A and B are shown apart, each in its own frame.
Chain A
Amino acid sequence: GAVVSQHPSWVICKSGTSVKIECRSLDFQATTMFWYRQFPKQSLMLMATSNEGSKATYEQGVEKDKFLINHASLTLSTLTVTSAHPEDSSFYICSARDRLAGHYEQYFGPGTRLTVT
Chain B
Amino acid sequence: TQLLEQSPQFLSIQEGENLTVYCNSSSVFSSLQWYRQEPGEGPVLLVTVVTGGEVKKLKRLTFQFGDARKDSSLHITAAQPGDTGLYLCAPSRQGAQKLVFGQGTRLTINP
Task: Answer whether A and B are interacting partners.
Answer: yes
A-B contact count (CB 8 A): 60
Interface residues of B in 83-104 (CB under 8 A from A): 86, 88, 90, 92, 96-99, 101-104
Are B45 and A107 touching (Cβ within 8 A)?
yes
Are A104 and B41 touching (Cβ within 8 A)?
no
Is B42's CB within 8 Å of the partner chain A?
yes
Are B50 and A103 touching (Cβ within 8 A)?
yes
CB distance from B73 to the nearest CB of A (A): 18
- Number of chain B residues close to chain A: CB under 8 A: 25
- Number of chain A residues close to chain B: CB under 8 A: 25
In whole angstroms, how far apart are the Cα atoms of A46 and B101 in the complex? 9
Stretch at the interface among A11-19, A65-73, A80-88, A109-117: A109-117
Contacts of A111 in B (CB 8 A): 40-42
SS class of chain B's interface: helix, strand, loop or mixed?
Answer: loop
Is B48's CB within 8 Å of the partner chain A?
yes
Are B45 and A105 touching (Cβ within 8 A)?
yes
Are B42 and A104 touching (Cβ within 8 A)?
no
Is A43's CB within 8 Å of the partner chain B?
yes
Contacts of A95 in B (CB 8 A): 42-43
User: What 0/1 readout, one digit per residue, does chain A (15-33) give for beta carbons within 8 Å of chain B?
Assistant: 0000000000000000010
Choose among B30, B43, B86 the residue that contacts A108 (Cβ–Cβ < 8 A): B43
Choose among A49, A93, A107 the residue that contacts B98 (Cβ–Cβ < 8 A): A49
In whole angstroms, how far apart are the Cα atoms of A110 and B40 in the complex? 8
Since A43-B104, A106-B45, A113-B40 are in contact, a sample of 20 more A-B pairs with Cβ atoms closer than 8 Å, ordered by chain A residue number, is A32-B97, A41-B106, A43-B102, A43-B103, A44-B43, A44-B88, A44-B101, A46-B101, A49-B98, A95-B43, A97-B97, A103-B30, A103-B31, A104-B31, A104-B96, A104-B97, A105-B45, A106-B33, A108-B44, A110-B41
- What residues make up the interface of B, taking CB atoms closer than 8 Å to A? 30-31, 33, 35, 40-45, 48, 50, 86, 88, 90, 92, 96-99, 101-104, 106
18 contacts between A and B (CB under 8 A): A6-B42, A32-B97, A34-B98, A43-B86, A43-B102, A43-B103, A93-B42, A95-B42, A95-B43, A103-B48, A103-B50, A104-B92, A106-B90, A108-B35, A108-B43, A108-B44, A110-B41, A111-B42
